[in-house]
């Protein structure tokens, strides 16, 4: 079972795609990410179960 997985997300402003690494040992995580293309910050909410991502939500910051 992998404890770190990669998920693809899109900027809610410009649609630019990027990948993030997620540690699935933490049940929840909240990140603020600056888009590599438009430089605007957005929020990523993550829910995990051991070894898998349950939900990834991307919202404007």
Using one digit for the tens of pLDDT, what is the confidence trace for 1-57?
679 999 999 999 999 999 999 999 999 999 999 999 999 999 999 999 988 999 999
> What pLDDT is stored for residue 54 in this prediction?
96
pTM of the model: 0.89
DSSP state of 27: S
Q: Are strands 28-34 and 4-10 parallel, antiparallel or unpaired?
A: unpaired
All residues at 6 or more sequence positions from 11 whose CB lies less than 8 Å from its CB, including other chains: 17, 18, 35, 37, 38, 40, 42, 58
């Amino acid at each position: 079972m992998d404890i770190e997985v990669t998920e693809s997300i899109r900027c809610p402003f410009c649609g630019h795609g990027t990948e993030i690494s997620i540690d699935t040992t933490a049940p929840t995580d909240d990140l603020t990410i600056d888009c590599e293309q438009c430089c605007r910050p957005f929020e990523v909410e993550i829910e995990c179960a051991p070894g898998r991502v349950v939900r990834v939500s991307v919202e404007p910051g």
